[in-house]
Amino acid sequence: MSSRVERDFADRLGSLPGPTRTLLLIAAAEPVGDAGLLVRAAAALEITPDVEPAKTAGLIDFRGSIRFRHPLVRSAVYHQADPEERRAVHRALAAATDPAADPDRRAWHAAQAASGPDEDVAAGLEQAADRARQRGGIAAEAVLLERAAQLTPDAWSRGRRAVAAAEAHFSAAAPDRATEQATLAELCPLSSLDRARPARLRARILFARSRSDEAAPLLLEAAAQFAAVQSPLARETYLEAISATIFAGRLHGPAGARAAAVAARGSGAPPSGSQAADLLLDGVAALLADGYDTGLTVLRGALELLANEELPTREATMRWLLLAPVALEAFIHYAWDLHAWDILATRAVRLARDVGALGALPPALIYAGGVHIHYGDFAEAARMIDEADAIAAATGHAPHKYATLVLAAWRGDADVAAGIIEDARASAVERGEVSLLGAMGYIQGVLFNGLARYEEALVAARSGIEHDGFNFTGLSLVEHVEAATRCGKLDQARASLARLVELTRAADSGWARGACARSQALLADGDEADSLYRTAIEEFGRGRVAVEVARTHLLYGEWLRRSRRPSLAREQLRAAYEMFDGMRADAFAERARRELIATGEHVRARVTKPAADLTPQESQIATLAADGMTNAKIGAELFISPHTVEWHLRKVYTKLGINSRRALPDALVTAPAVDTKERGSDGTRQNRHERSLRSPRTTRPR
């Protein structure tokens, strides 16, 4: 269709006078449609601006400026001209553009007019790229630098500009073009510093696309090259290498990360120029090489800087975004600090949006989504995860499975979670993302403990512990203690508790203290158990870890019921049920409901709607697909690609438990929810939720 329409426009163009065709070519080459600029360019080409024949042919409108009647008219005009005609028009436009008022447009037209290498033009493009960078125009910067490299006659300068173009394309979430420019750069003579930059870039691209274990040694090699030439880039590259070893899990694991930390310490690398980055590297290196006490002391000193450090340039912001995941992993899994997690993740999302860093935004959103999972706000978490996945799919980056899996586990839908877990396991094996395989232990531990399938939870959590990576090891221990006590494996529970106490001792946060107290309560009796459960609720509440507050109410209530204190048990179980039900943590809510019934409470099960688990975008896409729209039409309606539509539909099918779009209409029609007798309004439930976090109901049994 498009080609036929374009041919029709081309036929009409052929009947126009030569000067009119040239005028249209000027307009096609200058999309702003500035009438004054067009007149000046026409004068430079010594033609009389006559638009009437083009208006009569139905190709343009002219009301102070030229407007093409259809986008394909512009395309037909531009591509029908031969290269020399296009260069002549761009040359005229460059000459007609005020260099003081609009230097970037002038530089671009001069570049399009060039027929071969031209250092003056290339330098103008590089300056325009710098201005684009200062405005936050990452994609524009990348394109300008790429063209500057193409027009650079000197091989050394061409290589330097190609390296800069490659890095800009990576920042703009264009990994294929980044790789192309890195390859071109490596064909040129490069300084020692510039040789290390493509090496680091290739490792970053590999890690962004696949979380592959191959990225870590490449980053270490690049860091060593930077250190050898005393580049400030060395320290942040060592941090990236440590991060990559953490994600690589067992293949590099703690030994690999410690080796990276030791290498960083012994490299003699100069300060990075960022006090926060330097403190972060010192803290992570101390954490890995010297132990938790020393490392966390340094890391806490870095938090204030990471949260508030001024970032005056886009480069400083991009460096901060590259280092944020390392800081977040440390504060989540070593400091057990949900507040720091929230501060850093929120800042990462804001900064990534501010500078248009599409490569950095998905992981930032994933970390922010994880915060909301632990706050018990599953709907907001799902929104953030969905946005992250959509951006990753559109930019060719690997999807971030962690938060999706954790959310599925907390929601407790075994069928949905099983599908997502199996898909994640297969992709993790394919990509070598070993850390994701280890995280499955914690994730399935949560899922199976919620479903009261304790034998399966025991096996899953043990897998997470035996993986012995950095991610989720401590949390896997928490799940293992609960599952082991429920299965009567008390020796296993005590062993995991001892390790958990050691892991959390240095953290000394509400989250860490709550996890220890609750795990100890599971192995205690009488007044000691009662006191530990109350302590756990208070500590989790102080740390605002709502999902763990609810779980502790549940475990406390279960213990009270088995201790033949039904009235007090009912109070704790009702708090757990209301919190879990409000979160849509369905498996834990059902577990609490069953326990409440066992105390004599009358509670009706809520009839869930599978469609309620869909994110707003998934629901919209599913509805349009159920109405018979094709992926292409849905994409056009929602301004996304058909590929992205199909990707969302696969997620919809998994959540709804169906295999094709033919089943969508029936799957989207479900019964309304039935409320329980005990619940109040949504507002009341929220108030109770908040009250439970502020001052939990922890009456001591008498």
Confidence of residue 655 (pLDDT cuts 50, 70, 90): confident
* Residue-level pLDDT at 394: 80
Confidence of residue 498 (pLDDT cuts 50, 70, 90): very high
Q: What are phi and psi of 669, to 5 degrees?
A: -100, 105
* Residue-level pLDDT at 51: 74
Percent of the chain with pLDDT over 90: 42
Cβ of 404: how many Cβ atoms within 10 Å?
25
Q: What is the CA radius of gyration of the chain?
A: 30
Of 115-124, 323-332, 370-379, 676-685, minimum mean pLDDT range = 676-685
Q: What are phi and psi of 328, to 5 degrees?
A: -65, -45
Average pLDDT over residues 110-117: 92
Confidence of residue 608 (pLDDT cuts 50, 70, 90): low
Confidence of residue 7 (pLDDT cuts 50, 70, 90): low
DSSP state of 662: G
One-letter amino acid at 202 equals R
Confidence of residue 607 (pLDDT cuts 50, 70, 90): low
Q: Is the pLDDT of residue 476 over 90?
A: yes
DSSP state of 233: H
Q: Is the pLDDT of residue 497 over 90?
A: yes
Per-residue pLDDT tens over the stretch 513-555: 999 999 999 999 999 999 999 999 999 999 999 999 999 999 9
Average pLDDT over residues 555-564: 96
* Residue-level pLDDT at 89: 93
Q: Hey, what are 514's tokens?
A: 């709550």
Which range, 405-414, 468-477, 565-574, is most confident? 565-574
Average pLDDT over residues 34-38: 81
**Which carries the bigger pLDDT value, residue 533 or residue 615?**
533
C-alpha count within 13 angstroms, C-beta hemisphere, residue 677: 7
* Residue-level pLDDT at 700: 40
* Residue-level pLDDT at 216: 82
Q: What are phi and psi of 432, to 5 degrees?
A: 75, 25
Confidence of residue 68 (pLDDT cuts 50, 70, 90): confident
Indicate the SS3 state at residue 543. Answer: coil
Identify which of 313, 317, 425 has the alpha carbon closest to the alpha carbon of residue 364.
317
Indicate the SS3 state at residue 310. Answer: coil
The length of the chain in residues reads 702
**Which carries the bigger pLDDT value, residue 45 or residue 688?**
45
The span from the CA of 47 to the CA of 49, in Å, is: 6
**Which carries the bigger pLDDT value, residue 431 or residue 277?**
277
* Residue-level pLDDT at 151: 95
Q: Is the pLDDT of residue 494 over 90?
A: yes
Of 230-234, 416-420, 610-614, minimum mean pLDDT range = 610-614
Confidence of residue 684 (pLDDT cuts 50, 70, 90): very low
* Residue-level pLDDT at 672: 34
Q: At what angle do helices 338-355 and 314-333 cross, to 10 degrees?
A: 160
* Residue-level pLDDT at 456: 96
* Residue-level pLDDT at 62: 72
Cβ of 155: how many Cβ atoms within 10 Å?
12
Confidence of residue 119 (pLDDT cuts 50, 70, 90): very high
CA distance from start to end of the chain: 81
C-alpha count within 13 angstroms, C-beta hemisphere, residue 409: 27
* Residue-level pLDDT at 690: 40
The span from the CA of 158 to the CA of 256, in Å, is: 37
CB 338 within 8 A of CB 511: yes
**Which carries the bigger pLDDT value, residue 516 or residue 32?**
516
Per-residue pLDDT tens over the stretch 616-646: 778 889 888 988 888 888 877 776 778 778 8
Identify which of 125, 200, 214, 213 has the alpha carbon closest to the alpha carbon of residue 170.
200
The span from the CA of 178 to the CA of 182, in Å, is: 6
Of 256-270, 336-350, 377-391, 662-676, minimum mean pLDDT range = 662-676
* Residue-level pLDDT at 54: 78
The span from the CA of 27 to the CA of 23, in Å, is: 6
CB 222 within 8 A of CB 203: yes
Environment class of residue 524 by beta-carbon count within 10 Å: exposed (0-12), middle (13-18) or buried (19+)?
Answer: middle
Confidence of residue 695 (pLDDT cuts 50, 70, 90): very low
CB 107 within 8 A of CB 140: no
Which range, 329-333, 561-565, 691-695, is most confident? 561-565
Indicate the SS3 state at residue 60. Answer: strand
